[in-house]
Amino acid sequence: MVLPICPICQKQYSLQTLPIVLVPCGHGVCESCQDECNRREILECSLCRELVASWTPNYDLRAMVKQEEVDWKEKLMSSMDFLAGEEIEIDDELKEVAPLLMLKAKNTQSIIRQRRVIAEMARCMDPNDIFEWISVLQFSNEKDLLPVVSKLIDDKIFLESKKALWVLKLVH
Ligand SMILES: [Zn+2]
Ligand SMILES: [Zn+2]
């Protein structure tokens, strides 16, 4: 299941990026973007410019977020054979890194698959954290992987400055 993204910050809806619906226009954004609009006293919907009277949680999407939350933790745990039978608390914040952890668990050396996963991480994570995770996980092809990641993060910063982060999806 692929959850939609907030059209303003381009982050996928999650427990950190909760979906809401603006009233009366009905456009969907995330709670943090709406909070930011309130702080900056922006009264219109950023998508259609209609005046926002109030907002309400997007209950259907939130149910999907909850399901997704259960799904990714189960998937991650089941890929970690060495943890079988152990009680591990997986923090919500690990969600973005989970696909990379699974690549490591499966010992995947395919740079194409690694790059696709890291491109996804680059959309929402701090670049330093990405390098840190790669270093911690000690991929055996780290030497080839690091320049690829540097380029990806440069691309991301460029695209962000052009407000075109979605282009990353086109390339990877
Ligand atoms: Zn948002
Ligand atoms: Zn609207």
CATH number at residue 46: 3.30.40.10
Residues 63 and 4 in one domain: yes
CA of 17 to the centre of ligand 1 (A): 7
Looking at all shown ligands, the one closest to residue 29's CA atom is 1
The confidence score (pLDDT) of residue 1 equals 65
Domain end call among 36, 67, 89: 89
CA of 73 to the centre of ligand 1 (A): 23
Looking at all shown ligands, the one closest to residue 6's CA atom is 1
CA of 15 to the centre of ligand 1 (A): 12
Residues 84 and 129 in one domain: no
57-62: long-range contacts, CB 8 A cutoff, minimum separation 24: 57/18, 57/19, 57/20, 57/21, 58/19, 58/20, 58/21, 58/28, 61/3, 61/4, 61/13, 61/19, 61/28, 62/18, 62/19
Average pLDDT over the chain reads: 90
CA of 93 to the centre of ligand 2 (A): 30
Residues 85 and 101 in one domain: no
Domain end call among 58, 89, 120: 89
Residues 138 and 163 in one domain: yes
Render pLDDT for 105-120 as a digit per residue (tens, 0 to 9): 988 888 888 988 998 8
How many domains is the chain built from? 2
Render pLDDT for 158-168 as a digit per residue (tens, 0 to 9): 998 998 888 87
Asked if the model's pLDDT at residue 19 lies above 70, the reply is yes
Where in the sequence is the domain holding 114, given as residue range(s)? 97-171
Residues 61 and 111 in one domain: no
The confidence score (pLDDT) of residue 166 equals 82
Looking at all shown ligands, the one closest to residue 53's CA atom is 2
79: nearest Cα among 96, 65, 99 = 99
CA of 17 to the centre of ligand 2 (A): 18
CA of 96 to the centre of ligand 1 (A): 16
Average pLDDT over residues 145-170: 88
| Rounded Cα–Cα distance for residues 5 and 141 (Å) | 32
| Rounded Cα–Cα distance for residues 124 and 104 (Å) | 20
pTM of the shown model: 0.65
